[in-house]
């Protein structure tokens, strides 16, 4: 049975998550992809205020398609997380606690996840329509000029995810490869 968690995340929740845990996430999360991450990173370096307080928040790496009639959002599948790796340690240092995407994270990001007691979740690639059904409300809050890459505030309900990198430094991808090699 999947674990139920709510965003924003608290330390107790994060510390109890283990690499490989299947879960349903509900609550408030934010979207940001490559261009938005670059802008936030540059704002940090310039000492400017970010468009939202990162403390305990979750960012979903997605650039959703436009909503059709009677939809809250269009397809909303995850993008490759690696493209955000350059910016992630800085955002984690500012209080970000969760990231959702697909694919591996580099060693610097994994160290930063452990140091900052955060978590990286995978959303299943190819499930964009299913994930869109979990999104109940969408509001563009920053960088509207970036189109699909604008920062959005989402209200989600029972979004299916898997813990890949936990706050203790465990990596589900590495665990899976090791298990396969032993078989």
Q: What is the pTM of this model?
A: 0.95
| Cα separations in angstroms, 34 against 60, 70, 150 | 11, 29, 10
pLDDT recorded at residue 90: 97
pLDDT recorded at residue 85: 98
Contact 160, 123 (CB under 8 A): yes
Handedness of CA 154, 159, 161, 166 (dihedral sign): positive
pLDDT recorded at residue 180: 80
Q: Reduced to 3 states, what is the DSSP secondary structure of residue 155?
A: strand
How would you classify the pairing of strands 22-31 and 98-101? unpaired
How confident is the prediction along the chain (183 residues), in pLDDT tens digits per residue? Answer: 789 999 999 999 999 999 999 999 999 999 999 999 999 999 999 999 999 999 999 999 999 988 988 899 999 999 999 999 999 999 999 999 999 999 999 999 999 999 999 999 999 877 888 899 999 999 999 999 999 999 999 999 999 999 999 999 999 999 988 888 877
pLDDT recorded at residue 62: 95
Q: How many CB atoms lie within 10 A of CB 15?
A: 13
pLDDT recorded at residue 4: 98
């Amino acid at each position: 049975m999947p674990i139920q968690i709510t965003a924003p995340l608290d330390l107790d929740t994060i510390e109890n998550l283990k690499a490989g845990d299947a879960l349903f996430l509900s609550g408030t999360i934010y979207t940001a992809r490559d261009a938005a991450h670059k802008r936030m990173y540059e704002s940090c370096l310039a000492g400017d205020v970010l468009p939202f307080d990162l403390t305990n928040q979750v960012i979903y790496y997605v650039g959703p398609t436009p909503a059709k009639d009677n939809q809250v959002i269009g397809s909303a599948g995850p993008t490759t997380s690696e493209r955000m790796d350059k910016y992630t340690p800085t955002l984690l240092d500012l209080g970000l606690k969760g990231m959702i995407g697909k694919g591996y994270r580099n060693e610097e990001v994994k160290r930063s996840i452990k140091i900052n007691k955060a978590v990286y979740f995978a959303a299943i690639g190819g499930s964009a329509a299913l994930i869109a059904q979990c999104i109940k409300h969408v509001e563009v809050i920053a960088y509207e000029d970036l189109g699909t890459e604008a920062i959005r505030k989402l209200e989600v309900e029972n979004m299916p995810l898997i813990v890949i990198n936990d706050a203790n430094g465990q990596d589900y991808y590495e665990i899976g490869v090791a298990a396969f090699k032993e078989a």
